């Protein structure tokens, strides 16, 4: 099981990403954060395997991925604010133009998990469990 924290300043995006990732059998979303300091505090407390974070998260200022006194550091998957961003430290980075399968692959890959790209990330029965609003937002995130 890959334990993940989702960090994004916009609640809707945090909730949508957490919902999508949480539908995967191999992924457990154990927390979320709206600011950089909150993401760092949650990472220290919850010790996730991966943090999915927006590159312009308020107050982040490169705090993730820094030396933390020898403790195990989570891997970081970053959504750059602009496609031209080139973060220095992340293992993987995505754009908002990538699709759900790319997100899942990045999270599992960052955690060192084998990724089966031929398996659909979300089944129809799982999609039916989403609320109407979540079903409306999901295609917007996938495109």
Residue-level pLDDT at 101:
84
Task: Please return the burial class of 72, using the count of CB atoms within 10 Å of its CB with bins 0-12, 13-18 and 19+.
Answer: exposed
Alpha-carbon distance 141 to 99, whole Å? 7
Residue 1 or 69, more confident: 1
pTM of the model: 0.70
> Looking at residue 39, what DSSP letter applies?
H
Render pLDDT for 10-57 as a digit per residue (tens, 0 to 9). 999 999 999 999 999 899 999 999 998 999 899 999 999 999 988 788
Residue-level pLDDT at 115:
66
R_g over Cα of the chain:
14
Alpha-carbon distance 127 to 33, whole Å? 25
């Amino acid at each position: 099981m890959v334990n993940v924290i989702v960090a994004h300043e916009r609640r809707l995006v945090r909730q949508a990403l957490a919902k999508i990732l949480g539908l995967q059998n191999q992924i457990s979303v154990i927390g979320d954060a709206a600011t950089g300091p909150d993401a760092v505090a949650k990472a220290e407390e919850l010790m996730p395997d991966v943090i999915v974070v927006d590159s312009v998260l308020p107050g982040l200022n490169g705090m993730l991925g820094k030396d933390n006194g020898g403790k195990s550091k989570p891997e970081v998957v970053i959504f750059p604010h602009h496609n031209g961003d080139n973060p220095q430290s992340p293992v993987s980075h995505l754009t908002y133009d990538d699709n759900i399968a790319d997100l899942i692959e990045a999270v599992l890959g960052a955690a060192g998990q084998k990724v089966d790209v031929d398996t659909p990330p979300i089944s129809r029965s799982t999609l039916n469990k989403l609320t109407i609003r979540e079903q409306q937002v999901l295609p917007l995130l996938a495109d």
